[in-house]
């Protein structure tokens, strides 16, 4: 018997692993080093700016630098918590509580199926993009404030702030483009879940018809689908989309966490 090929386990961020699983694709590890990939992403003007930041004279720092403390840590925690709640508390991603657990026979389940309103993926796509914009704005503002504070610490920390500013300008557009493609990847997952449930409901209806004809095997098949709740696939999708957004939030916050680590050490 033929064996399905095993996919290579990814070791990257949770966002990449989630997308590879939900989009049903095999994403092999890149053989390029980070420096090689950066050389392809940076334009020549970006490369010059980065070289200047790394090799030029350290910027002068002010004599009265504001001390780093719990206020900045708390601001980060508040921003992260607020953005996470935006995802988990959004009404578009909220599970439909009315569906509950199924009762009765497969016949009742299949009869209830047409009552489900048509699900439009465009609604989910638009909401995903809107939350992405909220993330970008909130995290960008926080990153800029932390970078400004870092620039007042020591010449070495001021240089790090310059490098971070160059990297944000150089990679911001590429990051925006790549992350904006995520909703498109999830569209396939949406359709696969819906098609799988429709196929299961169709099988249940066929089993009901055969059961009416007195087939024991069909009766067993009908009982196996009795617990199916029409529309349950949509709640699965909502939860998956929330998970992807939360994983994306982790990725977007990495530069902020790096600046925080530098401020703690300065």
CA–CA distances in Å: residue 97 to residues 7, 103, 106, 202, 232: 36, 15, 20, 24, 10
Give the domain ranges of the chain: 65-92+104-265
- The tokens describing 204, both together, are 């249940």
Write out the chain's pLDDT in tens, 266 residues.
334 344 555 567 899 889 999 987 766 666 777 777 777 888 888 888 888 888 877 776 665 556 667 788 899 999 999 999 999 999 999 887 655 444 444 444 444 444 455 689 999 999 999 999 999 999 999 999 999 989 888 888 999 999 999 999 999 999 999 999 999 999 999 999 999 988 888 887 777 777 666 555 555 555 555 556 778 899 999 999 999 999 999 999 999 999 999 998 87
CA 202-208-102 angle, to 5 degrees, is: 75
Q: Are 119 and 189 in contact (CB under 8 A)?
A: no
Q: How far apart are CA 161 and CA 148, in angstroms?
A: 7
User: Would you say the pTM of this structure is higher than 0.85?
Assistant: no
Exposure b/e, 158-184, CB count within 10 A at least 16 = b: bbbbbebbbbeebbeeeeeeebeebbe
Which residues lie closer than 8 Å to 70 by C-beta, 6 or more apart?
A: none
DSSP assignment string, 225-256: TTT--TTHHHHHHHHHHHHHHHHHHHHHHHHH
DSSP assignment string, 181-226: THHHHHHHHHHHHHHHHHHHHHHHHHHHHHHHTT-HHHHHHHHHTT
**Nearest alpha carbon to residue 18 among 196, 191, 255, 186:** 186
- How big is the chain by its Cα radius of gyration, in Å? 25
């Amino acid at each position: 018997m033929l064996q399905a090929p095993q996919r290579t386990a990814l070791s990257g961020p949770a966002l990449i692993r989630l997308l590879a699983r939900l989009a049903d694709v095999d994403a092999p590890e890149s053989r390029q080093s980070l420096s090689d990939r950066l050389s392809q992403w940076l334009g020549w003007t970006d490369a010059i700016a980065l070289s200047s930041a790394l090799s030029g004279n350290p910027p002068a720092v002010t004599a009265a630098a504001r001390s780093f403390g719990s206020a900045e840590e708390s601001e980060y925690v508040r921003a992260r918590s607020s953005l996470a709640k935006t995802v988990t508390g959004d009404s578009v991603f909220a599970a439909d509580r009315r569906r509950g657990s199924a009762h009765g026979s497969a016949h009742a389940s299949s009869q209830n199926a047409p009552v489900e309103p048509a699900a439009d993926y465009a609604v989910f796509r638009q909401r995903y993009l809107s939350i992405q914009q909220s993330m970008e704005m909130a995290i960008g503002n926080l990153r800029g404030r932390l970078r400004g504070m870092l620039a007042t610490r020591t010449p070495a920390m001021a240089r790090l702030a310059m490098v971070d500013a160059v990297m944000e300008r150089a990679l911001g557009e590429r990051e925006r483009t790549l992350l904006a493609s995520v909703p498109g990847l999830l569209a396939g997952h949406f359709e696969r879940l819906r098609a799988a449930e429709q196929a299961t409901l169709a099988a249940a209806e066929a089993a009901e018809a055969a059961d009416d004809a007195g087939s024991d095997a069909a009766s067993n098949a009908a009982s196996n689908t009795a617990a199916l709740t029409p529309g349950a696939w949509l709640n699965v999708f909502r939860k998956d989309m929330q998970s992807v957004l939360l994983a994306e939030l982790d990725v977007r916050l990495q530069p902020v966490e790096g600046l925080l680590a530098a401020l703690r050490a300065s």
